[in-house]
């Protein structure tokens, strides 16, 4: 695994042996960050089920301001911390929370994130429940973008309350979905109509 772009570009993340982790592939990561390239600078990011810290560190590499890494597995947290040390990520740019992701979303009381990454364990088929929790969480605001990976055969709706799926791309047995607040889609539509006039 490597960082694709930004100030940590080309740096390899620490190697590991952990059956519970299936990191986001470079192909999926490139697609994801190409879509987010104009939202990253200065962004407040959450990396849920952070695993190795791969996505959050990529965001920090591309000038995100701060990333909150949420993970419950002790081995994953150790790997994430090793990656911070290896890349010398400044301590004032991140926070690690050892907590169940659903519980984190339900109890969150801070400012809404700009970008939320979520890569739930591929064995548990819980992506649907993560977006469901995000849809009623203070973590998700009117201008938040959420990118979540799921298996092709697991449940995933196009709408969760006011959260709307605006992008869906398949990579083999994995699907990358992106959600935003319905009001953000309405703003984009209004801007396009104004440009056409």
Q: Mind listing the pLDDT tens digit for each residue in 84-102? A: 999 999 999 999 999 999 9
Above pLDDT 90, what percent of the chain?
A: 71
Q: Examine the pLDDT at 191 and tell me if it is beyond 90.
A: no
Core vs surface per residue 5-22: b (16+ CB within 10 A) or e: bbebeebebbebeeeebe
pLDDT at position 121 = 85
pLDDT at position 153 = 86
Above pLDDT 70, what percent of the chain?
A: 90
Q: Examine the pLDDT at 42 and tell me if it is beyond 90.
A: yes
pLDDT at position 16 = 65
**Mean pLDDT confidence for 46-53:** 94
Comparing CA positions, the residue from 146, 142, 106 lying closest to residue 127 is 146
- Higher per-residue confidence, 15 vs 162: 162
Q: Write down the pTM of the prediction.
A: 0.90
pLDDT at position 28 = 85
**Mean pLDDT confidence for 144-149:** 96
The band of 187, judged by pLDDT with boundaries at 50, 70 and 90, is: low
**Mean pLDDT confidence for 155-181:** 94
**Mean pLDDT confidence for 21-35:** 80
**Mean pLDDT confidence for 77-89:** 94
pLDDT at position 193 = 41
Give the chain's mean pLDDT: 89
DSSP 3-state assignment of 110?
coil
Beta carbons of 135 and 106 less than 8 angstroms apart: no
DSSP 3-state assignment of 14?
coil
Question: How close are the terminal C-alpha atoms of the chain, in Å?
Answer: 47
Please give the domain boundaries of the chain with CATH numbers for all domains: 26-196 (3.40.50.150)
User: Does residue 22 come out as left (phi exceeding 0), alpha (psi in the -120 to 50 range) or beta?
Assistant: beta
């Amino acid at each position: 695994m490597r960082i694709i772009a930004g100030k940590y570009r080309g740096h390899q993340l620490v190697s590991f042996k952990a059956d519970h982790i299936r990191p986001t592939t470079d192909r999926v990561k490139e697609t994801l960050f190409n879509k987010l390239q104009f939202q990253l600078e200065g962004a407040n990011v959450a990396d849920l089920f952070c695993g190795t810290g791969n996505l959050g560190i990529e965001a920090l590499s591309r000038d995100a301001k701060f990333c909150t890494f949420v993970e419950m597995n002790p081995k994953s947290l150790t790997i994430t911390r090793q990656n911070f040390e290896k890349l010398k990520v400044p301590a004032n740019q991140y926070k690690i929370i050892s907590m169940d992701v659903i519980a984190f979303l339900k109890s969150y009381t801070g400012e809404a994130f700009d970008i939320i990454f979520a890569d739930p364990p591929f064995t548990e088929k819980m992506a649907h429940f993560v977006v469901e929790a995000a849809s009623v969480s203070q973590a998700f605001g009117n201008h938040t973008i959420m990118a979540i990976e799921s298996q092709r055969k697991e449940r995933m709706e196009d709408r969760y309350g006011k959260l709307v799926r605006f992008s869906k791309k398949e990579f083999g047995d994995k699907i990358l979905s992106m959600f935003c607040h319905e009001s953000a889609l309405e703003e984009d539509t209004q801007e396009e109509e104004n440009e056409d006039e």
